[in-house]
Amino acid sequence: MAHTSSMTIGDLAAATNTSVETIRWYEKVNLLPAPARSAGNYRLYGTEHLRRLGFIRRGRDLGFTLDQVRELLALADDRKRSCTEVDTIARAHLAEVERKLSDLTRLAHELRDVIGQCGCGSVADCRIIEALSPHGELS
């Protein structure tokens, strides 16, 4: 990532692999501070925007919701504060990820069972279609 003191929105987008529309939206919902403007009224972004957008992107990559990212940003801005709240947010998110993982594991087992019952004959005898149909029939 380039660390310049004045980047255009295109430069910031390229440096963070973020679309211009997403950057504008993050500004609109106050996750990114409004940038300075050039004499020609172009947005000019600095290293703080680059750092903050990187934080947002990494949080989103880890699956944090925008509200959680907003809370984490607020906490990150207060460097002397206890990290207990950060830990609470991260633990809640981990619990949700683990719940989803459990659900997906259960789903994978069900799909394996259904696929394993398929004899690859005609659709009329297909166990997969039967398993998807509420009463074993489509009509």
User: Given this model, what pLDDT does residue 138 score?
Assistant: 56
Rounded CA Rg of the chain: 24
User: Given this model, what pLDDT does residue 91 score?
Assistant: 96
Q: pTM score > 0.85 for this model?
A: no
Mean pLDDT of successive 10-residue stretches along the chain, which has 139 residues: 71 95 95 90 92 95 95 91 92 96 93 80 74 65
Helix (H, G, I), strand (E, B) or coil at 36: strand
Residue ranges of the domains in the chain? Answer: 1-81, 83-139
CA 52 to chain centre: 15
Contacts of 63 (CB under 8 A, 6+ apart): 93, 97
List the CATH code of the domain at 1-81: 1.10.1660.10
Backbone angles phi, psi at 43, to 5 degrees: -65, 135
User: Given this model, what pLDDT does residue 2 score?
Assistant: 46
User: Given this model, what pLDDT does residue 130 score?
Assistant: 76
Contacts of 15 (CB under 8 A, 6+ apart): 1, 2, 7, 50
d(CA 53, CA 7): 13
Number of H helices, E strands in the chain: 6, 2
User: Given this model, what pLDDT does residue 135 score?
Assistant: 66
Of 113, 107, 108, 106, the closest CA to residue 127 belongs to 113
